[in-house]
Amino acid sequence: MAVESQDMQQGVQAGGFEDRRVNTGDIELQVRVRGTGDTTVFLFHGVTANLDVWRPIAEDLAAQFTVVAVDQRGHGRSDKPASGYTHTDYSNDVIALVEQLGGNGGKDVVVGHSLGSRNATVATARRPDLIDGFVGIDFTPFIETEVFDSLEARVNGGDQHFADRDAVIEYLQNRYQKIPREAIVRRADYGYVRDGDGLRPLASPEAMAQTVTGLRADLAPFTEDVARPALYIRGAESTLVTQAAFEATRRLRPDLGYQLVDDADHYVPEEQPRAIADSIRSFIAGL
């Protein structure tokens, strides 16, 4: 499995992707690049996750686009500074990556799940001259305080030491009950590192605590300021983005796109990857 070392071989791998380190001027981020299309799609995961959760979607889209999946700051194999986990810090990373890896003759589109959706929204609001549009999956304005309280408890409870790979997989499957086993295995194999006689998460616990606190910041002003096309997607069974929050966002910006994905809770990209890949393609076709 891929947990033996935190260092990853850079360059083109047998799976048809290239792992790179990108210096943003502040930190270094780990990215995985597939495809060679003129349009570049940037994929940003949710809190505690990693770039490999996007694998089926990235492989699907790479037939048509250049696809850049990102380990966000504090996560995976990217740098983990002691501080700097606000929406400004994260969106600065999004902007730096688009500046460095986009501009290939087509569109530059950012796609985010959960934390990544928040960051995509903020970055697009800040830089409409740079980003041509975004797809935000299961994170919108108007998420209720009690929902954030529950999320914070789950995230802070994830910093554990596990005896072996099987223990990691069992923990993740119990935590994410609708995510298919093959997606759970991807999370386990990429997102954990050997530590003594067991395994621990690559995601920094200090970074996760700061990040989940930062998610409470009001997203509505940034959504109001978005001047590019956008699509918000919600899992039909999501308890993080309630129907009330989703409809309040629609009332705030009725001109943006909205989509409900059946048979999915919060973790839509891993539970319904084909539907998300199709939605991204359709969104780009309409730009």
63-75 per-position pLDDT tens digit: 999 999 999 999 9
- At 6, the pLDDT band (50, 70, 90 cuts) reads very low
Residue 157 lies in a domain: no
The pair of structure tokens assigned to 174 is 């119990």
Residue 210 lies in a domain: yes
Q: What is the pTM of this model?
A: 0.95
Q: What is the number of alpha carbons within 13 Å of residue 238 lying toward its C-beta?
A: 30
CATH for 27: 3.40.50.1820
Residue 250 lies in a domain: yes
Residue 229 lies in a domain: yes
Tell me which residues are annotated as active site.
Answer: 114, 138, 266
75-90 per-position pLDDT tens digit: 999 999 999 999 999 9
Residue 3 lies in a domain: no
* Mean pLDDT across 122-141: 99
User: Across the chain, what does the average pLDDT equal?
Assistant: 95
Q: State the total domains in the chain.
A: 1
- Give me the pLDDT at residue 3, please: 36
Residue 238 lies in a domain: yes
Residue 171: phi and psi, rounded to 5, are -60, -50
Residue 195 lies in a domain: no
The range of the structural domain enclosing residue 264 comes to 11-144+205-285
Spatial separation of the C-alpha atoms in residues 90 and 11, rounded to whole Å? 25
Residue 184 lies in a domain: no
Q: What percent of the chain has pLDDT over 90?
A: 93
